[in-house]
Structure 1
Amino acid sequence: MNQGKFFVIDGTDGSGKETQTKLLLARMRREGYTVETVSFPQYGKKSAGPTEEYLAGKYGPSDRVGPKPSSVFYAVDRYDASHDIRAWLESGRHVIADRYVSSNMGHQGGKIDDPEERRHFFEWNDELEHGIFGIPRPDLTIVLHVPAEVNARLMADRPKDIHEQDMTHLKRAERTYLELVELFPGFRLIECVDGSGILMSPERIHEMVWEIIRPMLG
């Protein structure tokens, strides 16, 4: 039996990751594929407890919590889900994750200003999650990009966690996500705003996602 493909939908805050995950899931099932989904953090599960406390501000503002401690919180949660992910893939089912290791790299890496130090962090995080915890590597990570200024306007009336409240954090994370696309061949960028700075419709963005993923399904 052929192993399933593992796709990640990630990107800047407010870029529609959850919506695109749902649209891709529905499209793949209509096309006859067997698909499972997982979303991170796994809110409400014990494994996500430290992450939820962090995002609620229990440990202080995001810039006071170092990138490595924060990354461990998220990695433990993904380790909890990794056994299901691996079993699904080995059974031939495809998997879509709403956020994954790339979220650590984008948000926690964004706390590091020095480019060389940031790349060392990427290597450390890769070893933590894929080496020490042994979680599966995705076949493709889609990065949805909405500029931080547009994102702030879209999320103005929405309840926010400590990342979403901090414009400096959002801009640094945006920079780092764009850097990841340049550095890693398994990352693909989708611009979610048009030339006028207007957010595209979810359906239009989905078609761009599908254009990238469809050839990988065989």
Structure 2
Amino acid sequence: MKPNFAKATTGKGKFIVFEGADGTGKSTQAKLLFNYLKKDKKDTVFFSFPNYQSAWGKMVRRYLDGEFGDVGEVSPYLASMLYAGDRLLESAKIRKWLGLGKLVVCDRYMVSNIAHQAAKIKDQKLKIKYIKWLEDLEYGENKIPKPDLAILLTIPENIAQKFMKMRVRDIHERNVSYQKKVAKVFGDLAKANKNWVVVANTKAGKLKKIDEVHKEIIEIVKNKKVV
């Protein structure tokens, strides 16, 4: 499973996305990196998906609230179109900022769509077929920008579940077996793509401090010459 974004389409700027299963801390780390870059006088903008204020994002919210059925009851193709529509609405803005040479930091992007929906598909051939369809839709038809760097945050499932219990959970987050499948898809995608870096939230079985993970990410973006 290899999404076709090895060659980014970002113009003058650089595009960094944070990915990971639910409860991995990606939103926290994406925001920390954005704030760090701003303080470092870097011309940076921030995006987060889904955008629940958009027409498509509101439909995503209804899907996640279970209005259209449980996780396994909603076609991955139909669910994917909701998320893809949401990104399409913002893609012109992202292209504009990248064209102006800005750094764009994004909390979740197209691969979150792949991981969460491909996790519903058991047959490997059908899974690959679905991934190709979504690539063609988002990068081909919709022409959304491709990332220069994807940072995948990982965490043991039992710890992720503890974090998620602290908030109101959606149909994705409530299903533990589904979350394990999502994490596996993310891991497979990371292994297949050279512009991905995996950052573990634990070390020797112990949870790292948020600032420790943040410092690791700063070193990664510097070493990758993204900033």
TM range (shorter): over 0.9
Q: Is 1:110 aligned to 2:119, yes or no?
A: yes
Any conservation in 1 of the 2:148–2:226 contact (CA below 8 Å)? no
Alignment of 1:174-189 (within 5 A): 174-189=183-198
% identity of equivalent residues: 32
The partner residue of 1:147 within 117, 138, 156 is 156
Aligned to 1:72: 81
Any conservation in 2 of the 1:5–1:94 contact (CA below 8 Å)? yes
CA–CA distance in 1 between the matches of 2:124 and 2:192?
Answer: 12
Q: Secondary structure at the match of 1:111?
A: coil
CA–CA distance in 1 between the matches of 2:174 and 2:153?
Answer: 20
Q: Is 1:128 aligned to 2:137, yes or no?
A: yes
What residue ranges of structure 1 are gaps of 5+ in the alignment?
none
Aligned to 1:211: 219
Q: CA deviation at 1:66?
A: 1.4
Aligned residues: 216
String of CA shifts for 1:119-156, please: whole Å, max 9, x gaps. Answer: 22222111110101110001111110112222112222
CA–CA distance in 1 between the matches of 2:125 and 2:26?
Answer: 29
Aligned to 2:43: 34
Any conservation in 2 of the 1:43–1:52 contact (CA below 8 Å)? yes
Aligned to 1:97: 106
Any conservation in 2 of the 1:147–1:174 contact (CA below 8 Å)? no
Query: If the length of structure 1 is used for normalisation, what is the TM-score?
Result: 0.94
Moved more, 132-141 or 208-217: 208-217
The partner residue of 1:200 within 183, 186, 208 is 208
CA–CA distance in 2 between the matches of 1:110 and 1:149?
Answer: 19
Q: Secondary structure at the match of 1:9?
A: strand
> Counterpart of 1:207 in structure 2: which amino acid?
K
Q: Secondary structure at the match of 1:214?
A: helix
CA–CA distance in 2 between the matches of 1:143 and 1:120?
Answer: 23
> Counterpart of 2:21 in structure 1: which amino acid?
T
CA–CA distance in 1 between the matches of 2:166 and 2:201?
Answer: 20
